């Protein structure tokens, strides 16, 4: 900013003091150079897009991934957690939201069910959005799961950008899937236990050996139910501690 003011000031001083013996005033030419420097500082170095230091410090301390996109789909800001979420991507005039999506597709595997979320990233809308987003790193078997919130930024009734936040729910998602599988196994074992008890009741008059065998099978199934129930209790305790 100081350099842009310097050009017209020097030229005007030279004209007023008659240091340059010329009838033409070159001060307007100095303003042309000043405007050029000002436009470079605004559009290339984002002179007017700087956030207060206090706000960036707060956002950098948040463990959730945060990305701020303006109305031109340029990535203006990412917090420190973003570097863990997607290493190697930094915001710049070249790295807009389209470059972010392209970079993400190159680094991870994204199935078709998550493509609508990617499309929503590059859409500036008035309504907020939330949904699940999953992708898999090449060296991992299980996908990473995130809850995505997209909040529009409004100023004087117009949309000037949006905030994209990623909440890591990978552990919770995997634990829920395991609980569903255990619940299905528990239902199957309970059905078998019911069948064994019915069989034991029907064979009470057929001999002691059949009754003993059915009783052993019933005890075995009861032990499996106990183990699965213990797993559920441990999972709930783990969730409460977190």
Whether the CB-CB separation of 30 and 3 falls below 8 Å is answered with no
Cα 195 to Cα 120, 208, 226, 229, distances in angstroms: 51, 18, 18, 20
Do residues 86 and 104 make contact, with C-beta atoms less than 8 angstroms apart? yes
Burial status of residue 68 (CB atoms within 10 A of its CB: 0-12, 13-18, 19 or more): buried
What per-residue confidence (pLDDT) applies to 83?
Answer: 86
pLDDT, residue 20, reads 64
Q: Which residue has the tokens 């239902």?
A: 187
Distance, in Å, from the CA atom of 59 to the CA atom of 67, rounded to the nearest integer, reads 10
Predicted local distance difference test score (pLDDT) of residue 21? 64
| C-alpha span between 98 and 54 (Å, rounded) | 29
Q: State how far the Cα of 5 lies from the Cα of 209, in Å rounded to an integer.
A: 104
Residue 85 near residue 103 (C-beta atoms within 8 A):
no
Burial of 7 per CB tally in 10 Å (0-12, 13-18, 19+): buried
Rounded to an integer, what distance in angstroms lies between the CA atom of residue 145 and that of residue 166? 9
Give the tens place of pLDDT for each residue, 77-135.
Answer: 889 899 888 887 776 656 788 988 988 998 999 988 998 998 999 888 889 999 999 99
Given this model, what pLDDT does residue 30 score?
A: 62
- The ranges of the chain with pLDDT < 50 are 50, 205, 208-209
- Gap between the Cα atoms of 212 and 200, Å rounded: 9
Total Cβ atoms within 10 A of residue 193: 18
**Rounded to an integer, what distance in angstroms lies between the CA atom of residue 241 and that of residue 7?**
64
Among 56, 52, 54, 36, CA closest to 44: 36
pLDDT confidence of residue 194: 66
Length of the chain: 242
What whole-number distance in Å separates Cα of residue 15 and Cα of residue 13?
5
What distance in Å separates the CA atoms of residue 239 and residue 125, rounded to the nearest whole number? 36
């Amino acid at each position: 900013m100081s350099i842009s003011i310097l050009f017209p000031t020097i030229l005007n001083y030279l004209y007023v003091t008659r240091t340059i013996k010329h009838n033409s005033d070159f001060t307007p030419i100095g303003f042309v150079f000043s405007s050029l420097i000002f436009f470079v500082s605004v559009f290339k170095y984002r002179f007017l897009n700087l956030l207060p230091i206090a706000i960036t410090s707060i956002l950098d301390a948040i463990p959730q991934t945060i990305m701020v996109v303006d109305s031109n789909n340029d990535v203006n800001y990412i917090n420190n957690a973003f570097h863990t979420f997607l290493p190697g991507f930094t915001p710049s005039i070249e790295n807009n939201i389209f470059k972010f999506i392209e970079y993400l597709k190159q680094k991870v595997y994204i199935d078709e069910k998550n493509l609508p979320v990617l499309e929503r990233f590059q859409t500036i809308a008035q309504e907020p959005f939330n949904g699940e987003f999953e992708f898999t790193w090449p060296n991992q078997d299980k996908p990473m799961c995130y809850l995505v919130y997209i909040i529009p930024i409004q100023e004087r009734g117009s949309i000037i950008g949006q905030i994209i936040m990623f909440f890591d729910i990978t552990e919770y998602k995997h634990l829920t899937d395991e609980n569903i599988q255990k619940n299905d196994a528990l239902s199957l074992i309970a059905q078998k236990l019911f069948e064994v008890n019915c069989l034991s009741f029907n064979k009470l008059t057929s001999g002691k050996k059949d009754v003993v065998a059915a009783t052993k099978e019933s005890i075995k199934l009861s032990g499996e139910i106990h183990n699965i129930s213990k797993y559920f209790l441990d999972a709930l305790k783990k969730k409460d501690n977190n």
